[in-house]
Chain A
Amino acid sequence: MKRSTGCFPVLILALCLCFGEGLAQPDSTIIAHRMRFAVPDAPAFKLIKGEPGAIMRPSSTREIAITIAEFLRSGGTLPSAFAAEFSPYLVACGSRLTLSEFRQSAMARALYRTRLSIASRREETATGRTQVSVGLRFTLMDEADLRLDEQYLSTLFGYSDSIASISLRIKDEIRGPRPFYASSADSLRAEQQIQEETRSLASSIVTSRERAKEENWSKPIVEVGLAWAGWSDDSVGVQGIVGSDLAAWFVAAGGIGPHAQWVAGAQLRLSRDDLGRLRQLEGPVAARVYLGENAYKLYAQAEAEWLKSTADRYLFEGGGETHLTSGIWLDVGIGIEWHDGTKPRLSSKFNLRFGTI
Chain B
Amino acid sequence: MKQFTFKSEGERLSINIQFGYAQIGSYILRLWEAGSNTVLMQRRGNNQNQEDDTYLLPLPTKHNDGRMIQCQTAVVAPDWKPGQRYSVRLIFRQGESEPQEYEVSGPIGESHAHPELFAVLKAIP
Contacts and interface: CB of A to CB of B under 8 A. Distances in A.
A272 to B, nearest CB: 39
Interface string B7-51: 000000000001111111111100000000100000010111010
A98 B19 contact: yes
Given A97-B22, A99-B47, A147-B22, A160 B75 contact: yes
A95 interface: yes
A94 B85 contact: yes
A160 B25 contact: yes
B111 A167 contact: no
A300 interface: no
B76 A327 contact: no
Interface string A168-183: 1001000001000000
A168 B29 CA distance: 10
A171 B72 contact: yes
B28 A205 contact: no
Contacts of B87: 94-96
Given A63-B83, A167-B72, A356-B83, A96 B20 contact: yes
Contact of B18 (A90, A98, A147, A357): A98
Contacts of B22: 94, 97-99, 101-102, 112, 147
B74 A164 contact: yes
Contacts of B89: 95-96
A326 B82 contact: yes
A357 B74 contact: no
B79 A205 contact: no
Nearest to A202: B111
B112 interface: yes
B24 A167 contact: no
Given A95-B103, A99-B47, A167-B72, A152 B20 contact: no
A327 B110 CA distance: 13
Contacts of B112: 159-160, 163, 201-202, 205
Contacts of A209: 78-80
A3 interface: no
Given A36-B81, A160-B46, A163-B26, A97 B111 contact: no
Contact of B23 (A63, A99, A165): A99
Nearest to A207: B111
Nearest to B80: A209
Nearest to A203: B111
14 contacts: A90-B21, A95-B89, A95-B103, A96-B20, A98-B18, A99-B23, A100-B47, A153-B48, A154-B48, A157-B24, A161-B26, A164-B28, A167-B74, A355-B82
Interface of A: 35-36, 60, 62-63, 90, 94-102, 112, 145-147, 152-154, 156-157, 159-165, 167-168, 171, 177, 201-203, 205-206, 209, 212, 326-327, 355-357
Given A100-B47, A160-B112, A171-B72, 19 more contacts: A36-B81, A60-B79, A90-B21, A94-B21, A94-B87, A95-B21, A96-B89, A97-B22, A99-B23, A152-B78, A153-B24, A157-B26, A157-B48, A160-B76, A161-B26, A164-B26, A206-B111, A355-B81, A356-B83
Interface of B: 18-28, 37, 44, 46-48, 50, 72-76, 78-83, 85, 87, 89, 103, 105, 110-112, 114, 116
The 4 closest A-B pairs by CB, nearest first: A202-B111, A163-B74, A356-B83, A95-B87
